[in-house]
Amino acid sequence: MKEFKGRTAFITGGASGIGLGMARALGRAGMNVVIADIDQNAAKAAAERLASEQIKASAVFVDVTERASVRSAALDAVAAFGKIHVVCNNAGVAVGGPLGTIKERDWDWIIDANLKGVVYGTEVFAPLIRSHGEGGHFVNTASMAGMVSPPGMEPYCATKFAVVAMSEGWAAQMAPLDIGVSVLCPGFVRTRIHESGRARQDRYGGSGVVDPGVGATPSEAAQNVLSGIDPDIVGQRVFEGIRDNDLYIFTHPHFKEFTQTRFNAILAAFDKSAKSEALKQVKDWGPMVPRTTPD
């Protein structure tokens, strides 16, 4: 997307942290911004703060774990600003801990918020963007935890790997429609992600303290997050990624080596399979590649 002025961005989890950073960066580029969040007070406060910075902003309630809520927030956003061009599927929560300690309802919560929330945001908005014909862009917030999986972060990493996978597929599907897709993969950013339990809905156990899995103790987790980079800089980095239609947006270049180590291990395992006695029996390998474009 090259034209930002007067266009509109819808940002889930926009009331805090990275979402607010994206709202500020896109607002400064001349976009109207819709702050969509489960925390209505924080969303209103964020929109007012942005308005005081001469950014056109409005706040809407959304709970991304419910498709109907995403649909209703989308209609509110269209009522406020007309066409939506950029959708940041950014709302997310963190859950982790040692094997066997994670409650079933917390698995449901993180999958519904981090994975299905991105599905709902994409499925609800893609037809709306398509219908106005002016093109658009999705930014799906994954994480470095969508590239590598440190022990104790399995629920979080499972959802973030999924966000990377879905974004790769959707990017190929939506490119012919002039709709870009980026997947944002930050390392630690100074936000409130370690306090995700504050927004946990009653059906998943209610508001409370949840181990985010990003440190051995709660204070180490807080320390890790609070030592992260400035969310406003992440927002500016996201603007660059949308402008350049980048599929992957990284914010911590020096984390490349973690991804490299994982990829090296995967490639080495392929090399090992090439020497397998068992596989020598295969006569026909089937199709070479899966289909890459929709029918």
Ligand X SMILES: NC(=O)c1ccc[n+]([C@@H]2O[C@H](COP(=O)([O-])OP(=O)(O)OC[C@H]3O[C@@H](n4cnc5c(N)ncnc54)[C@H](O)[C@@H]3O)[C@@H](O)[C@H]2O)c1
The catalytic site residues sit at 156
Amino acid identity, position 132: H
Q: d(Cα 60, Cα 146) in Å, to the nearest integer? A: 28
- Asked if residue 76 binds ligand X (CB under 6 A), the reply is no
DSSP state of 208: S
Q: d(Cα 45, Cα 117) in Å, to the nearest integer? A: 23
- Asked if residue 47 binds ligand X (CB under 6 A), the reply is no
Amino acid identity, position 128: L
* Residues 141-170 close enough to bind ligand X by CB under 6 A: 141, 143
* Residues 5-24 close enough to bind ligand X by CB under 6 A: 12-13, 15-19
- # residues near ligand X by CB under 6 A: 32
- Asked if residue 241 binds ligand X (CB under 6 A), the reply is no
Q: Nearer to ligand X by C-beta: 13 or 27?
A: 13
Cα distances from 226 to residues 62, 214, 221, in angstroms, run 26, 11, 9
Q: How many residues does the chain have?
A: 295
Q: Is residue 187 a contact partner of residue 250, using CB atoms and an 8 Å limit?
A: no
- Asked if residue 189 binds ligand X (CB under 6 A), the reply is yes
Q: Nearer to ligand X by C-beta: 68 or 268?
A: 68
- Asked if residue 105 binds ligand X (CB under 6 A), the reply is no
Q: Which of 50, 55, 64, 115 binds ligand X (CB under 6 A)?
A: 64
* DSSP string over 161-173: HHHHHHHHHHHHH
**Quick check: helix, strand or coil at residue 151?**
coil
Of the candidates 154, 150, 42, the one whose C-alpha atom is nearest the C-alpha of residue 91 is 42
Q: Nearer to ligand X by C-beta: 175 or 222?
A: 222
How many CB atoms are closer than 10 A to CB 124? 20
Q: Nearer to ligand X by C-beta: 104 or 295?
A: 104
Of 1-9, 85-93, 131-139, 282-290: span binding ligand X (CB under 6 A): 85-93
Q: Output phi, psi for 229, to 5 deg.
A: -80, 165
Q: Nearer to ligand X by C-beta: 68 or 287?
A: 68
Q: How far is the CB of 43 from ligand X (least distance, A)?
A: 8
For tokens 């911590």, name the residue: 252
- Asked if residue 236 binds ligand X (CB under 6 A), the reply is no
Q: How far is the CB of 66 from ligand X (least distance, A)?
A: 8
The residues binding ligand X (CB under 6 A) are: 12-13, 15-19, 37-39, 42, 62-65, 90-93, 113, 141, 143, 186, 188-189, 191-193, 196, 199, 225, 228
